[in-house]
Amino acid sequence: MKKRPAAIIAAALCTFILAAWQIVRARDDSSVGADGLILLVPDDASLTDPLVTVWLDAANEEGLHVIPMHDSRFLNPLFGRPKCAGVILPDSIHIRANDLLLGDIRDYVASGGNLMLVYDAATKSIDGFYSDSRSRLSDLAGVDYALYKNLGDGTIRSASVGSTIPLMKQLGVPPGKYFPFSASSAAIENTTSTELKRYQYGNLAYPSFVTSGRYAGQVLLRSSAGVAAGYHRYQNGRVLFVNLPLGYLKSDTDGLPLHAFLQYFAVHMLSLPQLLAVPDGVGGLVLNWHVDSNAAISALQTMNSWTILQQGPYSVHITAGPDTYAFDDHKGFDVLHNTFRQGLVHEYVRLGYEIGSHGGWLHEYFAAHVATDAPKDLTKFLELNKDALEQVAGKRVVEYSAPNGNQPEWVTQWLDSHGFVGYYFTGDAGMGPTQGYRGGQREGQNIWAFPVAQMDRAASFEELSDEDVSFDVIQQWLEALTGFVVDRHQVRLVYFHPPGIIPYREVVQNWMEKTAQLKAQGSFRWYTMSQMANFLNSRKQVTWEMTQHDGLASLRAADSQSLAHQTWSLPDHTLEKPVVVRGAATVKHDGESWLVIAGEGTSLEVQARTLGK
């Protein structure tokens, strides 16, 4: 019996729809699994939009699986709701949303799902209007916000953001990025108010929606506008509400808030596995020396007798030319024409330190002109500095630091195109190594920014002196920062100029004693920028997944070159001790986690029994 035309058309239409949805599904959520987080994106948004990729890049750097997904796929009844660990509704790119999507998100959370709701996400209708009285997701957030009808232009307010010291630690904010960073006792820490700080400028003001009413959960951050971040239970699920523009901030050199809350959501709240961003899971510090001119010579000679040289390796960056402030002033380091200074470079190379380029040939002149003169007139100074140091050091120069922190975008592009892999950076302060964004665009492909670690408004020793910070507080900060990188298996950069460190010999000596003890225990390392950047670039090639079936969790990983030194952190309260079933790895317990440290080989599989709840 022949099919009727209508039946043929209907069958073809069904086939077409099914095929189309299979394509959409394959594109949007092929990798979403039990440990994956869905990043919801409007249907008309490109997955390559920088406001999307800031989240994906942050997730990769944090060693997490975040998968972008268009709203229509999340809503698609044909395939059902994708399996995932949680959902992120991001700021800036997802301001508009229809009621159907919000209803489905509300149902997802009520049924036991986990949601990270960020700032202005879904605060406007699909037509671009605020709701009459409050955000349609106020019930999910746990507090009323987006009160445009009542507040008008006062709906959003910029203000300093603070919390308690224990909560800042819980959020993964390094000491010094919040200040004060310690108190005399744990009881006092629980009640001491502390605020996020901006390097060189002090208090840091962030925009947030004014909130109204009593918050229904645990407040994580507050500002004068109200609740800046918090989490609470919504029926059978949980919601992390972050009333800060995380994606927008990261897109222009302030990525710490996004990274901190992404890790808090994934690791602290959801206990997801994580690929750590340090070799062998060992946290550490990059100690970046900035040698500006011949004014550093006496200090470098003095430091030769310090125990600081017994450790390392360090990143020693030098402005190599004969002049500093102006041509022919003869105040430069002049590495090509001074055998003593060449000897210092040779000794640092022998000790395993990395020699880097500190700007372009004349420290102060270059710093004053790099952002105003034509790049074609300044690149010659970058080339002169690089070539001179390579000639003396006998090896390639692949690290860079900007004189006076002045690094316009064109310099980063030049560095990336000339084989540099790491540079000191005054943006994104408080973060570990990152491939950051500036002006809404990703900077570089294989080059990593190393943001400075700060202590309130200061970072280097001479800045701490200018701020009249006591020796005791500096000592406490250095030790607290060291403890931070050890405990969280991360890396941060501390920098100084040799003349500025000289008054602090006792402080540095005490610090070195602490780091030596931690090194001996195997829980701390000194890294150079290039060591970390090369490791992080190789880490990009690692593919891995975590699956669970019938009470057994399996971690599978692969790398076409080698998995050696890659390390995963798995929660110990949900898994028994993992067992290696394929490949080479070491498993050890650390705090509340199992660390799986890969050995040589291109593939790895470990399994662990899940623990009952």
> Average of pLDDT values for 449-475?
96
What are phi and psi for residue 483, nearest 5 degrees? -60, -35
pLDDT tens-digit map of 249-274: 999 999 999 999 999 999 999 999 99
Range of the domain at 92: 31-157+210-271
Place of tokens 């007139």: 377
pLDDT tens-digit map of 147-184: 999 999 999 999 999 999 999 999 999 999 999 999 87
Residues 294, 382, single domain; the answer is yes
Residues 260, 340, single domain; the answer is no
Q: What is the mean pLDDT of the chain?
A: 93
Tokens for 586, please give them: 């070491």
Q: Tell which of 486, 501, 535 closes a domain.
A: 535
Dihedral, CA atoms, 340, 342, 345, 349, nearest 10 degrees?
-120
Residues 184, 217, single domain; the answer is no
Residue 479, domain CATH: 3.20.20.370
Which residues, in sequence order, are bridge partners of residue 610?
575
Q: Please, which residues have CB within 8 angstroms of residue 322's CB and are 6 or more apart in sequence? A: 330, 332, 334, 336, 337
What are phi and psi for residue 72, nearest 5 degrees? -65, -35
Flag whether pLDDT at 276 surpasses 80.
Answer: yes
Flag whether pLDDT at 444 surpasses 50.
Answer: yes
At residue 84's C-alpha, the angle toward residues 80 and 87, to 5°, is 100
> Average of pLDDT values for 446-474?
96
Using a pLDDT cut of 70, give the percent of the chain over it.
Answer: 95
Residues 10, 115, single domain; the answer is no
Q: Give the model's confidence band at 24: pLDDT under 50 very low, under 70 low, under 90 confident, else very high.
A: very low
Q: Give the model's confidence band at 16: pLDDT under 50 very low, under 70 low, under 90 confident, else very high.
A: very low
Tokens for 301, please give them: 């000679």
Residues 35, 21, single domain; the answer is no
Flag whether pLDDT at 1 surpasses 80.
Answer: no
* pLDDT the model gives residue 132: 77
Q: How many domains does the chain have?
A: 5
Residues 392, 296, single domain; the answer is yes
Residues 451, 483, single domain; the answer is yes
Q: Give the model's confidence band at 23: pLDDT under 50 very low, under 70 low, under 90 confident, else very high.
A: very low
Residues 182, 215, single domain; the answer is no
Flag whether pLDDT at 17 surpasses 50.
Answer: no
Residues 153, 65, single domain; the answer is yes
Nearest to 208 by CA among 251, 242, 256: 242
Given a contact cutoff of 8 angstroms between Cβ atoms, the answer to whether 166 and 268 are in contact is no
* pLDDT the model gives residue 25: 41
What are phi and psi for residue 392, nearest 5 degrees? -80, -45
* pLDDT the model gives residue 469: 96
Q: Give the model's confidence band at 7: pLDDT under 50 very low, under 70 low, under 90 confident, else very high.
A: low
Distances 313 to 298, 316, 460, 526 between C-alpha atoms, Å: 21, 9, 19, 6
* pLDDT the model gives residue 9: 52
For the entire predicted model, the pTM comes to 0.93
> Average of pLDDT values for 567-593?
96
Residues 131, 82, single domain; the answer is yes
Residue 130, domain CATH: 3.40.50.880
Flag whether pLDDT at 502 surpasses 70.
Answer: yes
* pLDDT the model gives residue 183: 83
Given a contact cutoff of 8 angstroms between Cβ atoms, the answer to whether 585 and 530 are in contact is no
Residues 80, 225, single domain; the answer is yes
Place of tokens 């360090």: 314
Flag whether pLDDT at 3 surpasses 60.
Answer: no
Residues 139, 214, single domain; the answer is yes
Cα 93 from Cα 51, distance rounded (Å):
6
Residue 564, domain CATH: 2.60.40
Q: Give the model's confidence band at 131: pLDDT under 50 very low, under 70 low, under 90 confident, else very high.
A: confident
pLDDT tens-digit map of 177-228: 999 999 878 888 888 999 999 998 878 899 999 999 999 899 999 999 999 9
Strands, E assignment, 415-519: 422-425, 437-438, 441-442, 448-451, 491-496
Burial annotation 492-502 (CB, 10 A radius, 16+ → b, else e): bbbbbbbbbbb
